[in-house]
Structure 1
Amino acid sequence: MCAVAVVGAVAVVLVPATSPEVSGGDTALVSVVVNHGRTVELGPDETRTIEIEVTASDRSGIRAVDPIGLWGPNYATLKVGPMSCVPLSAGGTTSRCSGEATVAAGSRALFDDQAGTWFVDLRIRAADGDRYVSKNAAGFSLKRSARFDLAAADPARVAEGGAVTVRARLQRADWDRKAEVPQQGTAAYLQFRPVGSDTWTTLATARTDADGLLSVNVPARGPGAFQWYAPGDKWTAGAVSEVLPLEVDGPGAHPGQ
């Protein structure tokens, strides 16, 4: 029985209790900005460097932001390089710390199902030993890029009231295949801007077919230009086609008038 008791005691020692690190003291997170506040859009075989800025404060001053990393859906992670901190206030209580992360679609470390909302994981360390710890200090969007090609207005010159067929194809990045693929079943908007105007008006809504193709027939009621617009979603960036000029023979009027 003594032998059994000894073994049990050793087993308890080999499995110590652990607890996650928590914030302590007056260290405060002021802001986190990733990629200057813009969505990160990544092509099918593209590598990009994005900047991460962390602003923090403590009465004793900020010593470092370390460790820091980025994490996203389906166990995706990115490393952030060393953060460089610069005091912003005369007393040195507030500092802005900057670093960079590299995101590469062609590295086999990023996959289609990892697009979406990502988060910043960080620890801020103050000069007096205080700290601020967070697994989701801020969120940002990392999306698959999208673009229109094969855009055309046929004919590009027509008599007033004549029919114009406006076409395009919508594609998006496929990180798994390192290629662009047709974006199927996606809503896109055909827009028109009359000559002399800066305002785009939506004329029609269409949905891409299995090959990512769009086609809409509209009457020509005045000279101007067409474009296609797809707003994107949580996982795919938005896209705008090239501008497609339209010349109209006869008195001009705004489409829909």
Structure 2
Amino acid sequence: MRIRSLAAALTGALALSVLAVPAAHADGDTTITDVVVNGGAELALGPTAPKTFRVSVTARDNSGIREMNLHVRLPSYIYRASDRGLTCTAVSATTTTCSGSWTVDTSNFYGNGPADDPWYIEAYVYGKDGDWLSADKAATFTVRRQAKLTANASPEPVRKNATLTVTGKLTRANWETHKYGGYSGRKAKLQFRKAGTSTYTTVKTVTSGSGGTLKTTVRATADGYWRWYFPGDTTTSTAGATGDYIDVR
């Protein structure tokens, strides 16, 4: 991935993992006990719209924490501190949590590489007694390309036990063209929610065709909502279409 401007592009679960810190990067008993990115939720970016998310790091030292510096890093490309600095709160006499916000603007991306590589949280933590810890990879997390789904069931209305055709399209953000593009060869679930209930049930699984198209037939047995659902993959987010209501007569 190339980026037009480092300052413009990154103004950070998401597969989040806290990594052990090598002893060579620490002096004393300072430790990182927790890292949370985007509140633990999936982080998916569209083709152009900027997105802001938060990173929180909790650290401990027997004398208390004096200061923290945090950066988000995609190796060789992006390295930046929080947009507006950090807010730090003492959890106890020994433990402090610091949080900050990062904004990613994918309109400055030239390609889809950021979805292929792990992103890192860099943390520098200083105890009140002079102890310190430097972690190049305090945690890793994943940024995914945002997916979208549509759904349409027909005919409307339909007779009971008649054949119903459900179509749709699976697309995902392309950070090279800055548009959504069809995502073919992916398994999407056709789901049904009976009128008066709140839960969707998977009826069958269909593989998306050229341009991300989806199409299948089912029997219409009751009033309710039909939708497509994509569970996501290593580079692409989950997505669920808005349910299309069918009146069965």
Alignment TM-score, normalising by the size of structure 1: 0.82
| Count of matched residue pairs | 224
Unaligned runs of 5+ in 2: 1-22
- Output the amino acid matched with 1:114: P
Distance in 2 (CA, whole Å) between partners of 1:113 and 1:191 is 32
- 1:36-79 per-residue CA deviation (whole Å, 9 max, x = no partner) reads 1112111000211211111111122211112x22234x634241
Deviation per residue, 1:135-154 (Å, 9 max, x gap): 221222211101113x2111
Counterpart contact for 1:147–1:240, Cα < 8 Å: yes
The SS at the match of 1:159 is coil
Distance (whole Å) between structure 1 residues aligned to residue 68 and residue 224 of structure 2: 53
Matched, 1:47 2:40: no
Report the CA distance shift for 1:157/1:232 in structure 2 as closer, same or farther (over 3 A): same
Could you say which residue in structure 2 is the equivalent of 1:102? 103
Distance (Å, rounded) in 2 between the aligned partners of 1:211 and 1:36:
33
Once the two structures are TM-superposed, the CA of residue 198 in structure 1 deviates from its matched residue by 2.4
Task: Please give the alpha-carbon distance, in whole angstroms, between the structure 1 residues aligned to 2:89 and 2:201.
Answer: 47
Distance 2:87 2:199 in 1: 44
Q: Does 1:128 align with 2:126?
A: no
2:71 aligned residue: 69
Tell me, what secondary structure is at the counterpart of 2:247? strand
> Is contact 1:184-1:209 (8 Å) kept?
yes
Distance in 2 of aligned mates of 1:180 and 1:164: 28
Q: Secondary structure, in 3 states, of the residue corresponding to 1:114?
A: helix
Higher mean C-alpha displacement, 114-123 vs 74-83 = 74-83
1:203 maps to what in 2? 203
Q: Distance in 2 between matches of 1:203 and 1:97?
A: 45
Aligned to 1:245: 245
Instruction: Give the distance between the partners of 1:163 and 1:97, measured in 2 at CA.
Output: 57
Structure showing greater radius of gyration is 1
- Higher relative CO (CA 8 A, sep ≥ 6), structure 1 or 2? 2
CA RMSD, 1 decimal:
1.8
Counterpart in the other structure of 1:148 = 149
The match for 2:37 among 25, 34, 37 is: 34
Per the TM alignment, residue 162 of structure 1 is displaced from its structure 2 partner at its CA by 0.6
Unaligned runs of 5+ in 1: 1-19, 250-257
In the TM superposition, structure 1's runs of 4+ consecutive aligned residues that sit over 6 Å from their partners are none
CA separation in 2, counterparts of 1:48 and 1:194? Answer: 35
Structure 1 residue 230 displacement after superposition: 0.4
C-alpha change, 1:185 and 1:75, in structure 2 (3 Å) is farther
1:87–1:94 Cα contact (<8 Å) kept: yes
Query: Could you tell me whether the CA contact under 8 Å between 1:204 and 1:216 is conserved in 2?
Result: no
Q: Any idea what SS the aligned residue of 2:25 has?
A: coil
Q: Which amino acid aligns with 1:231?
A: P
Q: Output the TM-score relative to the length of structure 2.
A: 0.84
Q: Whole-Å Cα distance in 1 between the matches of residues 195 and 177 of structure 2?
A: 42
Whole-angstrom CA distance in 2 between matches of 1:26 and 1:187: 48
Report the CA distance between 1:88 and its aligned residue: 1.7
Q: How much does 1:202 deviate?
A: 1.3
Give the Cα separation in 2 of the matches to 1:176 and 1:21. Answer: 40
